[in-house]
Structure 1
Amino acid sequence: MLTSQRKQYILEQLARDGQVLSKDLSVRFEVSEDTIRRDLRELAAAGRLQRVHGGALPSSSAVATFAERKTLKTDAKKTIARKGAELISAGQVVLIDGGTTTSELIKCLPDDLQITVVTHSPSIALGLTDHPAIEVILIGGRLYKHSIVTVGAAAVEGIGNIHADIFFMGVTGIHPEAGLTTGNYEEACIKRAFSGRAAETVVLVSPEKINAASPFVIGNLGLINTVVVDSGTDENWLSSIEEKGVTVVTA
């Protein structure tokens, strides 16, 4: 079998099963694990998958630029955001991560909702400037332009002074075994810091994030309490998430 044919099979199995294991592929193709690792390395370099220990997972498309991500699964994001907004109660302190789905979330907040929003996203803060009843606290730091959020020591210090009721975390991938991942190391640190200051952590999961992975780990699924998903989400995936103790809310 040609290398190109083997790589195509790997991608097809990845799309079908949500993961591939180097050892199993080695047996299947009767080649060494070193050969399989080289295939996975080259596919990863081309952005076709995310290598993990022992194999690979689908690469998340949610690591694209903010402008590009705004065009991904827009209808699903709006539906999920509306359901997520129902989890917010008056009087709460709400941490909102940067991202395209959380940008839809703030559009769904009622005009009479009185809450305090804490965010490290200038876009989220600006999106709430005309809301009549929401107080906004913007966490400072170095601007990470790719995601339009602040990161760094100043951001972590600011987060440490907050006790929040709920945190809406943005991720680029969520997988039962690989956990919660994102495309930038400092962003992962900020997300963990936010989660540690909230009584409840929620992830709004649009379809392109499911069973996908990115290079930097935020944490395992024990870090979150709830996921909000589209009604068409695969039942087997939902069951695997619930087995980890995470509550599933379907939009």
Structure 2
Amino acid sequence: MLKAERHKFIMTKLVEEQKVVTTDLALVLDLSEDTIRRDLNELDNKKLLEKVYGGAVLVTEKATDIFNINISDEDEKKKIVTKALSLLHDDQVIIMSGGSTNLVFAKLIPADLKATIYTYSLPIAMQLSQHPNIDLIFIGGKMQKNAMVTIGMDVIQVVSKIKADICFIGASSINIKQGLTEIGYEISIVKKAMIEASDRVVSMFSSDKLDTKMPHVVCDLKQLDTIVTNLNPEDPSLEEYRKSGVFIL
């Protein structure tokens, strides 16, 4: 992988997770930790991230308004999530994971939609709290501050008791052999519980997540009903995913 590609991958992970860990990046990219440290130092020198012990965090300005959350590539993510709006209808019970793509989706949910939505994402809960017809249930637990989501057994116990019609699950990485994978173990466990609790599973993500992998498996492709990307569903890069039986929007 070229240096520019590595830097793009690292910055994409930072946007999604708000931090990266040197050892995890070395494992995923199959590179030495020294190479990853040099990449992080270079990106730090460019003020694109802040290097910390063991990894790096995203450089962001603190929003003065708690509802004003900066989302990278928001216009591109709107193109992705707009495709999935047709999957919504009145009286659904919905579970939503965290992530910036799902946050954009929450912003675009029609004002006249009447549904019940569970989420463990604080930003998504904040967004949906403004919706006039959504019954919002925020799942409490230990807060993972960097991603602003709750994790732990309290979250899993609540999710396991939900009977959801559909869940919208973010994807850090996806490939044919491993399916959905996550960089964090605790988030992967919560997402597994979401899938088990739902009749239909939809994952929305940008095409740069295709054919990548993280250390912790969330689910096989066969457990996904639908994937939604920024690509045309007939794009050649999605051919193997179509063959797996997953529906592509």
Distance in structure 2 (CA, Å) of the matches to 1:89 and 1:45: 48
- 1:242 equivalent in structure 2: 242
Distance in structure 2 (CA, Å) of the matches to 1:144 and 1:79: 28
Moved more, 111-120 or 175-184: 175-184
Matched, 1:42 2:35: no
> Could you tell me whether the CA contact under 8 Å between 1:65 and 1:146 is conserved in 2?
no
Q: How big is the alpha-carbon RMSD for the aligned residues of Structure 1 and Structure 2?
A: 3.0
Deviations 1:154-202 (A, max 9, x none): 0000111110000000111111123111121000000000010000000
Q: Please give the secondary structure, in 2, of the residue aligned with 1:147.
A: coil
Shift of 1:230: 1.3
Distance in structure 2 (CA, Å) of the matches to 1:245 and 1:47: 40
Amino acid at match of 1:46: I
> Could you tell me whether the CA contact under 8 Å between 2:71 and 2:100 is conserved in 1?
no
Shift of 1:81: 1.2
Distance in structure 2 (CA, Å) of the matches to 1:157 and 1:163: 13
Shift of 1:67: 5.9
> Could you tell me whether the CA contact under 8 Å between 1:66 and 1:147 is conserved in 2?
no
User: Cα distance 1:192–1:70, how it changes in 2: closer, same or farther (>3 A)?
Assistant: farther
- 1:27 equivalent in structure 2: none
Distance in structure 2 (CA, Å) of the matches to 1:84 and 1:183: 25
User: Cα distance 1:188–1:46, how it changes in 2: closer, same or farther (>3 A)?
Assistant: same
> Could you tell me whether the CA contact under 8 Å between 2:173 and 2:181 is conserved in 1?
yes
Distance in structure 2 (CA, Å) of the matches to 1:203 and 1:64: 25
Shift of 1:220: 1.6
Q: What TM-score do you get using the length of structure 2 for normalisation? A: 0.73
Q: Structure 2: where are the runs of 5+ without partners?
A: 7-26, 39-55, 62-68
User: Cα distance 1:236–1:169, how it changes in 2: closer, same or farther (>3 A)?
Assistant: same
- 2:196 equivalent in structure 1: 196
Distance in structure 1 (CA, Å) of the matches to 2:97 and 2:244: 23
For residues 109-148 of structure 1, what are the structure 2 equivalents within 5 Å? 109-148=109-148
> Could you tell me whether the CA contact under 8 Å between 1:73 and 1:208 is conserved in 2?
no
User: Cα distance 1:96–1:67, how it changes in 2: closer, same or farther (>3 A)?
Assistant: farther
User: Cα distance 1:186–1:67, how it changes in 2: closer, same or farther (>3 A)?
Assistant: farther
- 1:214 equivalent in structure 2: 214
Matched, 1:161 2:144: no
Q: Please give the secondary structure, in 2, of the residue aligned with 1:86.
A: helix
Distance in structure 2 (CA, Å) of the matches to 1:67 and 1:211: 29
- 1:6 equivalent in structure 2: none
User: Cα distance 1:215–1:47, how it changes in 2: closer, same or farther (>3 A)?
Assistant: farther
Q: What TM-score do you get using the length of structure 1 for normalisation? A: 0.72
Distance in structure 1 (CA, Å) of the matches to 2:34 and 2:248: 31
Q: Percent identity?
A: 30
Aligned residues: 204
Q: Structure 1: where are the runs of 5+ without partners?
A: 1-9, 16-36, 49-62
Distance in structure 1 (CA, Å) of the matches to 2:60 and 2:98: 13
Structure of higher CA gyration radius: 1
Distance in structure 2 (CA, Å) of the matches to 1:108 and 1:151: 26
Distance in structure 1 (CA, Å) of the matches to 2:59 and 2:148: 8
Distance in structure 2 (CA, Å) of the matches to 1:203 and 1:67: 27
Moved more, 82-91 or 130-139: 82-91
